[in-house]
Structure 1
Amino acid sequence: MSVMQEENVTKRNYKPLIIAVTIIVNGLVVLLAGLPGVEGFDAFDVHILPMFNAIFNSFTFLFLLAALIAIVKRKVDLHKKFIYAAFITTSMFLVTYVAHHFLAESTPYGGTGVLAYIYYFILITHIILAAVIVPLALTSVARAWNMENERHRKIARWTMPIWLYVSLTGVLVYLMISPYY
């Protein structure tokens, strides 16, 4: 799309929505981290939810990788489809993550030595970047929707590798802590 066509697109201000969603999502995660879980909940084994988290993160990673390959090959429509798929699996992750942390108490990591240092490094960087990726991903999509292609490219150069890292490390965190559920 040319610069002239970009100027003809009615631009929407997504900033208030991005700020609200970022505050709600990150606030909910922080709030749930301090809750003890629902005592006596036995409708199903809540420890299956982290496995779903890892599955959704795996799909997010694969969709993002496919989106990256598609855009490198200049297949914009395919890129969009994979990005939307990544948003869907990330949203599904968020639902199962919130449900697990609402229903179950936190599981401590039981490993020791070098593995514990590796686990906590991955976990801490994952948590920090997961909080950062919310507004980055939403801003990237908003800029694409507004046809602000150059601004979209500039932020997507940061968004894509961070989102890939967050989705991959989410799986690694699960694999490392799963023996302790």
Structure 2
Amino acid sequence: MELHPLINACLNGTSAILLFLGLRAIKQGKRERHKKLMLGAFGASSVFLASYLLRFAISGTTRFPVEGVWKVAYLAVLFSHMFLAIALLPMVLRTLWLPLTGRFEPHRRIARFTFPIWAYVSVTGVAVYLMLYHLPSLLL
């Protein structure tokens, strides 16, 4: 099995963990910790995106080798992950830019939408990896 997809899944998982730790930090009033964790999540997501695009350019797509209900489930997770990831990029950039310019109230408003989408995309990135590279060996 290729190492590149595993690295990408780890980057998605790291982003998810940092996001949830960042949420906990801001709920505890730890702004500086929140900022560092969210910038870390952005860094992990950015490295993932660059790595994914490189891998896609080099080797293209990988087909899901199982038919039936498992393929439908995989495609549902994959497509929701992809479409939300595309919509997410400008949201993340705006959500991160606002507090860096001292505009905390607009940041809070948009973060209420950005956070759950970003968390979903990060977690489903790991799920797509597990479904594509490990689920078929359990089913076949």
The TM-score normalised by the length of structure 2 is 0.92
Counterpart pick for 2:91 among 121, 125, 136:
136
**2:68 match:** 113
> Identity over aligned residues, as a percent?
36
Whose Rg is larger? Answer: 1
**1:97 match:** 52
Describe how 1:25-44 pairs up with structure 2 within 5 A.
none
**2:18 match:** 63
Q: 1:90 Cα shift?
A: 0.8
Q: 1:105 Cα shift?
A: 2.5
Provide runs of 4+ in structure 1 moved above 4 Å.
none
Residue 39 of structure 2 corresponds to residue 84 of structure 1: yes
Amino acid at match of 1:61: A
Q: 1:88 Cα shift?
A: 1.2
**1:3 match:** none
Note if contact 1:50-1:96 (Cα within 8 Å) is conserved in structure 2: no
Quote the RMSD (CA, aligned, Å).
1.3
Amino acid at match of 1:152: H
Structure-2 separation of matches of 1:96 and 1:138: 19
Note if contact 1:58-1:167 (Cα within 8 Å) is conserved in structure 2: yes
**2:104 match:** 149
Structure-2 separation of matches of 1:177 and 1:92: 21
Q: Structure 1 unaligned runs (5+)?
A: 1-44
User: Going by fraction, where is helix more abundant, 1 or 2?
Assistant: 2
Amino acid at match of 1:73: Q
Structure-2 separation of matches of 1:111 and 1:154: 42
Structure-1 separation of matches of 2:111 and 2:57: 32
Q: Structure 2 unaligned runs (5+)?
A: none
- Provide the secondary structure at the position in 2 that maps to 1:107: coil
Amino acid at match of 1:160: F
* Number of residue pairs aligned between Structure 1 and Structure 2: 135
Amino acid at match of 2:29: R
The TM-score normalised by the length of structure 1 is 0.72
Structure-1 separation of matches of 2:72 and 2:61: 19
